[in-house]
Amino acid sequence: MFRNMRYLIFDLTGDELLSDSFPYKEIQNGILWEVEGKWVIKGAIEVNIGANPSEEGGDEEGVDGQPVKVVDIVDTFRLQEQPSFDKKSFMAHIKRYIKSLTPKLPEERQEEFKENVEGAVKCLLSKLDDLQFFIGESMREDSTPVFAYYKEGSSDPTFIYFRDGLKEVKC
């Protein structure tokens, strides 16, 4: 899929959410990762090379699919969009996620996570009205949430991941 890929990034439920082909930037004291997505054209584009498919033994229908504009990260990792949250339901969901995630972290990481996760949640809350919500392909309730929003002036989405909800697996 990606030529220079060295590792894939899964959430703790096993869903593939990212790879090193999409560089990230740590934000909120390393609790969150920010990754730039891009709108891309996916699908076959019919090119007329002057051949007659019926005479060449090809099918008459030509190209199966029409080109479609997709967000690379959503399409590549088969992220599933979820309904948006109001503040109350977002806080309930994120508290449940943090509560389930914290004991899965190595002991030395748990304290740092607890100290910094509140700032990360506040960061997400400040963007709540602009966020799109995604989870991995399995759509498990305990999946790591993935958030997307558009930075001012950008036509491409930026994705936000909880770093501690991810694990890197070398290819």
CATH of the domain at 96: 2.170.150.10
| pLDDT tens-place string over residues 67-99 | 999 999 999 999 999 999 999 999 999 999 999
Give domain status of residue 32, yes or no. yes
The count of domains in the chain is 1
Poorest-pLDDT segment among 45-54, 63-72, 149-158: 45-54
pLDDT at 1 over 50: no
* Burial class of residue 50, CB neighbours in 10 A (0-12, 13-18, 19+): exposed
Amino acid code (one letter) for 17:
L
Give domain status of residue 50, yes or no. no
Give domain status of residue 53, yes or no. no
Retrieve residue 45's tokens.
């584009």
Q: Which domain holds residue 132?
A: 7-40+73-170
Give domain status of residue 46, yes or no. no
Cα 89 to chain centroid distance, Å, stands at 21
Percentage with pLDDT > 90 across the chain: 73
Which pLDDT score, from 0 to 100, does residue 7 have?
74
The pairing of beta strand 16-19 with beta strand 7-11: antiparallel
Q: How far apart are CA 168 and CA 171, in angstroms?
A: 10
Work out the angle between the directed axes of helices 107-126 and 87-101 (0-180°, nearest 10). 170
pTM: 0.84
